[in-house]
Amino acid sequence: MTSAPQRRRGDGRQRLLRIYETLRLRICLLDYPPGHRLREADLAAEFAASRTPIRRVLARLEDEGLLRSVHGVGTIVTDIDIAALAEVYELRVALAELYGRLAPVAPDGAGLDRFRAVLSGCDALVERPDARAFARLNMEFFALIATLTANAPLRQISERLYYQTTRIWLKTAARLAAYERLLAEEIAHFRREVADVLAALEAGDLANVGAIRRAHIAMSFARLRAQAERAAPGE
């Protein structure tokens, strides 16, 4: 039987995780844009928590590259630049293929249904493109991909790198005149990736899932780099 202290520790960890995931989502959706200052007192009041857990969450987000401490200013959201993220994308491409090779886990029927639900979400976005809904669905898909391996270090490193890069599309494309067209195109690319992954899973070909992810991440980075060049000042 679980003791009362153990339950409290478990509840505390879950609460800390919820605060962390909430703040990470806000950063990734640009609700907290680059340069935004996060105040411990405000967050403690919002989440009805002491400053100690808030400080732990902010430290974790800083360690992951989403926040930074500035002397005399406080904790602010980091800026993102496609050139600075090139090496991160290169590592993501290399890691993607490992999902079919390191401790692969085939999804059960319920797991396949979750992938099908993401594909249905893509179809809805094709009809009515929405950048925030697209970003959320992309995160949901990434979380499902993470279930395809039992290798914990691979999942952890992939997650850290993914959330370092996930904001870049929203920031870059929003500065372009062709934003709506680019959004529709990116949703179409994403739908093809989801459909390809689902087909491989339904065929029991987990090794091909890694190859599919590797190709799509590489192509996504190439598109982002081209968009960043078009969005550069003076162009």
What is the per-residue pLDDT for 235? 44
What is the per-residue pLDDT for 229? 82
Q: What is the CA radius of gyration of the chain?
A: 19
CA distance 39 to 44: 9
56 contacts: CB under 8 Å, gap ≥ 6:
16
Question: Collapsing DSSP states into helix, strand and coil, what is residue 77?
Answer: strand
Whether the Cβ atoms of residue 133 and residue 201 lie closer than 8 Å to each other: no
Give the containing element (helix H, strand E) for 70: strand 67-70
CA distance 181 to 172: 14
Residue with tokens 């091909």: 208
Task: Specify the fold of 4-77.
Answer: Arc Repressor Mutant, subunit A (1.10.10)
CA distance 47 to 25: 15
Location of each CATH 1.20.120.530 domain in the chain: 86-231
pLDDT in 10s for each residue of the chain, 235 residues: 555 565 566 677 899 999 999 999 999 999 999 999 999 999 999 999 999 999 999 999 999 999 999 988 889 999 988 888 999 999 999 999 999 899 999 999 999 999 999 999 999 999 999 999 999 999 999 999 999 999 999 999 999 999 999 999 888 887 777 889 999 999 999 999 999 999 999 999 999 999 999 999 999 999 988 888 877 665 4
CA distance 208 to 213: 9
What is the per-residue pLDDT for 5? 60
The hierarchical CATH code for the domain 86-231 is 1.20.120.530
Location of each CATH 1.10.10.10 domain in the chain: 4-77
Closest CA to 49 of 5, 11, 75, 6: 11
